[in-house]
Amino acid sequence: MVTGGADGSIITWDLEQEYHDDDNIRASTTVLEEDKPDHGVSSIRFNPHNSSLFSATSYSSTLSLFSLTPSNPICLQTYPLDSHLYTHSTSPASVSTALIAVAGSSPHIRLIDPRTSSTSQTLFGHVTSVFSVSWSPIYSSILASGGKDGSVRVWDIRYGATCLGSLDVNMLPRAANRAAGKAHDGGVNGLLWTSDGRRIVSAGMDGKIRVWNAENGKNTNVVFPPVIKNKFQSEFPMVITESDDAVGGEMLWTGNEEELLAFDLENGKMLKRVRIPKTEVRDGLGRIMGLVQRQRNGELYTSHALRDGKKLLGRREGVARWKSKRLWKGDEVEVEQTEKQRKLQDIFEKATRGPVTFS
């Protein structure tokens, strides 16, 4: 596993190492000083075709490609771009045609071709910064992107740089601009496809999570309880896991400041709420910044915003391992709803139950 810090540091973690008493894992190697970005790392992605390669974007307006080695990761290539970069996503296409979509403070999305070390295509459509991008896991030419203005746009790069349409929660008339739909009342800093490519999950800085039908662009009207805390424009951590406890067999995990929340993706019901004991978020420190699942054993890993990147509640590192069994047993915060919370959820459900169309 690889993580990036606000100081530009990039650290690798050996997930095969033995458990420690505090359930945290220890850093293995770091990117050398001369290879690390000048400013904070905003996103890191492993290459879907080669697990020894990964890429990172930074607020210093660079996309860097790295190779894992037994000693330290080596920087293979750096692409300077013209805006502060917030996130990126690598296409699931074959190695020879895979592109990296890069988004940031510019309203334009750059598609980088690692083979030619240049921008192969630029997508025009957003009018503000782009906070999130995510490729379809099934159709390698389909890309979804989320903007600061609350829009979610869908692109098919086979047809040039034109937006196919936008996800619309306000039921705009079909005569309206196809790119004028609005998915959230705040910036969209989280986008995730289901593994079958049939649904898109979006998270907005309005505190809402929505699930969309990727085939027709309609809101599926899944109602999540009004408990989401999402006020920072950095990537909102989300991951979908398989679960027998969920009606549709899929569970959505999200970071929620210092907590992990688990929802049934089919109906939005909150199934679990866990946290590291005695955690507290102050001035943004301590909150969960990253969330990934290890497919082999179902473990979840969280990275946290820490002042020095090394200590988490007196522990030695800022990355925590959540054992799959312990997520359902042991020391945890159970889901409890007060009468006030139930009333708020009822109001929320009534206000969001209308049909939604693809503009």
pLDDT at 347 (0 to 100)? 58
Say what the pTM is: 0.81
**Least confident span in 167-176, 254-263, 337-346:** 337-346
Residue 331: pLDDT band (50, 70, 90) is: very low
Mean pLDDT of 160-178: 69
pLDDT value of position 68? 86
pLDDT band at 338 (very low <50, low <70, confident <90, very high): very low
Percent of the chain with pLDDT over 90: 39
Give the confidence band of 314 by pLDDT, cuts at 50, 70, 90.
very low
Range with the lowest mean pLDDT among 32-36, 51-55, 178-182? 32-36
Query: Strands 152-156, 142-147: parallel, antiparallel or unpaired by DSSP?
Result: antiparallel
- The pLDDT value given to residue 23: 52
Average pLDDT rounded to a whole number, residues 282-308: 74
Contacts of 33 (CB under 8 A, 6+ apart): none
Instruction: Say whether pLDDT at 113 is over 50.
Output: yes
12 neighbors 2 (Cβ within 8 angstroms) = yes
Q: How does pLDDT run across 35-64, given as a tens digit for each residue?
A: 666 778 899 998 888 888 999 998 888 999
Amino acid identity for residue 188 in this structure: V
Residue 173 has pLDDT above 60, yes or no: no
pLDDT for residue 196 is more than 50: yes
Question: What rounded mean pLDDT belongs to the chain?
Answer: 79
Residue 252, burial from CB neighbour count under 10 angstroms (0-12, 13-18, 19+): buried
Give the Cα-Cα-Cα angle 292, 294, 297 (nearest 5 degrees). Answer: 145
| Residue 342 vs residue 236, higher pLDDT | 236
To which residue do tokens 């027998």 refer? 244
Percent of the chain with pLDDT over 70: 72
The amino acid occupying position 227 is V
What Cα–Cα distance (Å) separates residue 342 from each residue in 207, 259, 337? 17, 20, 6
Q: Which of 124, 129, 202 is nearest to 167 (CA)?
A: 202
Tokens of 331: 């020391």
Q: Please tell me the predicted confidence (pLDDT) of residue 353.
A: 47
pLDDT band at 93 (very low <50, low <70, confident <90, very high): confident
- Whether residue 88 is predicted with pLDDT greater than 80 in this model: the reply is yes
Is 50 exceeded by the pLDDT of residue 334?
no
Domains and CATH numbers, the chain: 2-353 (2.130.10.10)
